Structures are given as C-alpha cells and as structure tokens.
Amino acid sequence: MQMAAAFFFVGVILNTAALNLPMLIIGRLCLGAGVGFGNQAVPLFISEIAPAKYRGGLNICFQMLITVGILIANLVNYITTNIHPYGWRISLGGAALPAIFLGLGSLLIVETPASLIERDHTEEGLRVLKKIRGVEDVEKEYGEILQATETAKKIKHPFKNLMKRSSFPQLFCGTILQVFQQFTGINVIMFYAPVLFQTMGISGDASLLSAVVTGSINCLSTLVAIFGVDRVGRRFLLIEAAIQMLISQGLTGAILATQLHSTNAIPKLYAIIVVLLICVFVSGFAWSWGPLGWLIPSEIFPLETRTSGFFFAVSMNMICTFIIAQAFLTMLCRMRSGIFFFFVAWIVVMGIFAAFLLPETKGIPIDEMNERVWKKHWFWRRFFDDGVESQV
C-alpha cells in the first residue's frame, strides 16, 4: 500500500507538471503501477482481516470507495473542463490528495494476523488477532491460521504450486471473473461516457454531466452490495445483475440500431431512455460484477497460493482493461450500436457461468474454502484427489 501511494504521488507530479508527451506517458505508467500495487494488496488485506460473516460487506467497501473516487473525478473534470488553459492540470493534480491519504493510512494500520504468523511473528499475530476481533478467545481461529501457515510453509514455489490440478478451480474462477468484469462493457460506459453521449447527439457539457450521473448511480448502487452480499450471497447478486444488464444493454443496442442514423443523433425522448437504461446497467454492475469481481478472487485461494493466485487475477483485470480501453473507440466507430450486442453475448456467458460453475462462498472462512466449497462442488470436486498431494 505504501508503494502504491509512492507511485501515485510520483505519477501525479509528472502529469501535473508535464511539459511534453513523454512526461505524461511516464506519469500515467506510474499511476498504473500504483493501481497494480493497490489492487493487489487491499482486497487481500481486507479478506484476511475481516470476520467471515462480514467479509463480503467489508471487502466491498473497497469497491465503494473506488466508485466514490470515480464520482469525484467526474465532478472535478466537469468543473475544470471550462478552466483554460490549466484545467487539465488541476484535474490531474487533484489525485495527489487520495495518494496522501493512502500513504498516511498505510502507516496507521496493522499487518494481518496471517501475514505476521506466516513470517514467524506468532505472538504479534495472536495479539493483532485479539485486537481486531475485540475478544480474548480467538484460539479456534488462531489454530486454523497456524495450520494453514504450516501447510503454506511446505510450499517452496507457490507459483509452481498454482499450476497443480487442485489449484485449477480457484485459478480459473478467479481469473475468468476478471475477464467477465471487464467484458460487461462497464469501462465503455464509465471511461467513454462523454464520447458515447456525444455520439447520441448530446452536447459536450451535457455528456460530462451524464457521466457524473452514471458515477452517482455507480456509487449509490454499491451500497446494495455492501448490505446484501453477506445476506443473499454472491451468486444471487451475480445472476440477478446479469439478467438486469442483459436487458438494459439489449434495449440500448436496439434503440440505437433503429434510431441512430447518419446524423449521429437520435430523438430527445430516445436519448433520455438510453441514459436511463445505462443507469440501470450501471446499477446492476455496481452491486454485483464490479465489487464481487474483486471480493471472490480475494477469498477463494488457500494461504499457500493466495498471493500468487490473486496476482494472476489482478493481472488479468489490468490486461482486459487495457484491451477494452484500446479497442473501444475503433469498435464504436466500426460496430456503432452493434457494440452493445457484443457485450450482451458476453453477459449471457457470464450468467451461465455464475449459475452453474461458480460456488457460493458466503460466510465460509477463507482457510476452509477447499474443504467446504471446492471439494463439494458438483463440477470442481473432480480436481481434488482423495489422497494427499505431494508438496511442490
């Protein structure tokens, strides 16, 4: 987390003071490194430190604050767009504030008990566990962490161990969730909302305002996930949202296909309907595939492959984000309204995956996932041998 804050701060300085394109690119690369460090560390930290019954809601607070950041960024961009010639510098420079908060916050928090025990700080790990649970009687959980740690220590090469047959279910589900998260089309909506709305004939300022509206919906809808994920479960939210996003994307594509002609504008009534459908889509994503795409990979790996497995998940997310960001404008120009049907096809696959292949992890301690979840799943249990696998 401290490394993330450092990269963010350096990136902000380079971008705000940029005198040429190379400075901007290097600054953006630093910001990207910061995102990588933060996305790798924070969800794992929360999953390891949170009680099982509250793990989902607490972890989704991470996604909630990301949506708050997106909303604030949209507001800042909306305000600074008319400030010439330094509005863009103000917009980029504002990112220093969260970087400072992240750096200071990382100095105040404690290491997770699992991390401390894994590095042989057993007494400190026990003390921290008692502190974060608020009770003295933590022997059962402490024993489970000790047992998981002893198993993890036998693994000399965690990345090689991740390639074992028994690690495939977690690795596949953790990485494919990241692919699905990005191929819902959410980044198309959130990153390119101004371009999208301008394509529909909405003016530049109105398009930025529409982006602020979608950011607000994204932020508020994440609250549903925070309070619902540990009650109704992960799979219910994913399946419900897949249906919701399927309908909204399909209707949006149909309206644009029939109404968006060579003038690149559609009647005002249809434009309003499209904006509302996009809000419905964003709300569904915000309480499902958005936060759960980070939560589930952070809780499904056993301790011996947790860091390496989540590394693959985060890397897959970044790769898919890059692909979508680079390809979208070309796809929009070539496919026009058809781009929505492209993402509809992905959503159909996502819904089928959540319904049949993704196990429910609600309320299961992360160190008991293999025994209570994967080995009992109708499909994934075939990847686990009855005997004890030799350690790598």
Give the model confidence (pLDDT) of 80-115 as tens digits.
Answer: 888 888 888 999 998 899 999 999 999 998 899 988
85: cis peptide before it, omega within 30°?
yes
Is a pLDDT exceeding 60 seen at residue 389?
no
- 14: tokens are 């380079």
Query: Which residue, 46, 42, 339, is CA-closest to 187?
Result: 339
Q: CB within 8 A of 120, min separation 6: which ones?
A: none
Half-sphere exposure of 294 (CA within 13 A, CB side): 29
CB atoms within 10 A of CB 144: 15
* DSSP for residue 387: S
Q: How far apart are CA 138 and CA 127, in angstroms?
A: 10
Q: What is the pLDDT of residue 13?
A: 94
Q: How far apart are CA 21 and CA 29, in angstroms?
A: 12
Angle between helix 289-300 and helix 204-232 axes, rounded to 10 deg: 40
What is the pLDDT confidence band of residue 202, given thresholds at 50, 70 and 90? low
Determine what percent of the chain is predicted with pLDDT higher than 90.
43
Q: How far apart are CA 255 and CA 258, in angstroms?
A: 5
Alpha carbon 190 to its chain's center: 14
Q: What is the pLDDT of residue 288?
A: 94
Q: How far apart are CA 46 and CA 35, in angstroms?
A: 17
Rounded to 5 degrees, what angle do the CA atoms 204, 70, 32 make? 105
Residue with tokens 């987390």: 1
Range from 98-112, 181-195, 363-377 carrying the lowest mean pLDDT: 181-195
Instruction: Report the chain's mean pLDDT, rounded to a whole number.
Output: 86
Based on DSSP, count helices (H) and strands (E) in the chain, helices before strands.
Answer: 19, 0
User: What average pLDDT does this structure show over 116-121?
Assistant: 88
User: What average pLDDT does this structure show over 139-164?
Assistant: 81
What is the pLDDT confidence band of residue 194, given thresholds at 50, 70 and 90? low
pTM exceeds 0.95: no
